[in-house]
A and B are shown apart, each in its own frame.
Chain A
């Protein structure tokens, strides 16, 4: 069965600094997708960035980049130039392939990291 581990319950970062949120995953499948979502206190899950298991380059979306190390099974999120509005809970999630191999389009989430950006 697949598993996502986020070992940092809480993180603090100064405004305009970069921060790395850790995520490791466990699966025996060769085909999978990795996602990062942001959840502000309002509750809505906001999609940030995606990395496919076959992608050779690390994904980037604006100030977000994903440091994908396949051999180590890690998919860390890097936020550059942090802003006060980045304060939120951040979730790493994984999706596998077909139902027969344990997939079926369900996202498996980690426990999240609460990020607080300070002045």
Chain B
């Protein structure tokens, strides 16, 4: 069974540009999550999508946005890139849990996209 896939592996952008990161979940998973792992800041939750809807959002500015497509794949967009956006962006997927919350839903991660902003 294929795991979570992410593309591209590496992305280099300049300040002010836009970046688009893509994620395909494990087959059968409908929830997709995005996390940022920046040097010195640790792993931080960005977004949760389920059934095409944004269900939860971390403490990030609106220039971080995304969407989930009908096939459950997801895209993360970062507008007006800043130097501090340089990080490893990890996507994860899990089985549907609904708004009641899923404390038993294991999130399986992809290999990540390393974004460098120059």
Contact B103 A53 (CB under 8 A): yes
Closest 7 CB pairs of A and B: A104-B56, A45-B109, A106-B45, A97-B101, A33-B103, A98-B101, A109-B43
Instruction: With A37-B109, A105-B48, A109-B42 as known contacts, state yes or no: A43 contacts B99, CB within 8 Å.
Output: no
**A108 CB within 8 Å of chain B:** yes
Contact (Cβ within 8 A) B104 A33: yes
- Is A25 interfacial (CB 8 A cutoff)? no
Type the 1/0 row for A84-106, where 1 means its CB is closer than 8 Å to any CB of B: 00000001010111110101111
Binding site for B on A (CB under 8 A): 31-33, 35, 37, 42-47, 50, 52-53, 91, 93, 95-99, 101, 103-112
Judge whether B58 is part of the interface by a CB distance below 8 angstroms. yes
Q: Do A32 and B114 touch (CB < 8 A)?
A: no
CA distance A44 to B6 in the complex (A): 11
Q: Are A111 and B42 in contact (CB under 8 A)?
A: yes
A47 to B93, CA, bound (A): 12
Known: A43-B88, A99-B56, A111-B42. A105 touches B105 (CB 8 A): yes
Chain A nearest CB: distance from B50 CB in Å?
Answer: 8
Query: 0/1 per residue, B49-65, Cβ < 8 Å to A?
Result: 00000011010000000
Contact of B103 among A31, A37, A108, A109 (CB under 8 A): A31
Min CB gap A81→B, angstroms: 24
For A104, list chain B residues within 8 Å (CB). 48, 55-56, 101
Residues of chain A within 8 A (CB-CB) of B110 are 44
* Contact present for B103 and A43 (CB under 8 Å): no
Q: Which B residues are in CB contact (< 8 Å) with A107? A: 33, 35, 43, 45, 92, 107
- Residues of chain B contacted by A43 (CB below 8 angstroms): 88, 90, 111-112, 114
Contacts of B90 in A (CB 8 A): 43, 45
Listed by A's residue number, 28 A-B pairs whose Cβ atoms lie within 8 Å are: A32-B103, A35-B106, A35-B107, A42-B111, A43-B88, A43-B111, A43-B112, A44-B111, A47-B108, A50-B104, A95-B105, A96-B101, A97-B101, A98-B100, A99-B55, A99-B56, A99-B99, A101-B101, A103-B101, A105-B31, A105-B48, A105-B56, A105-B97, A105-B107, A106-B33, A106-B58, A107-B92, A109-B42
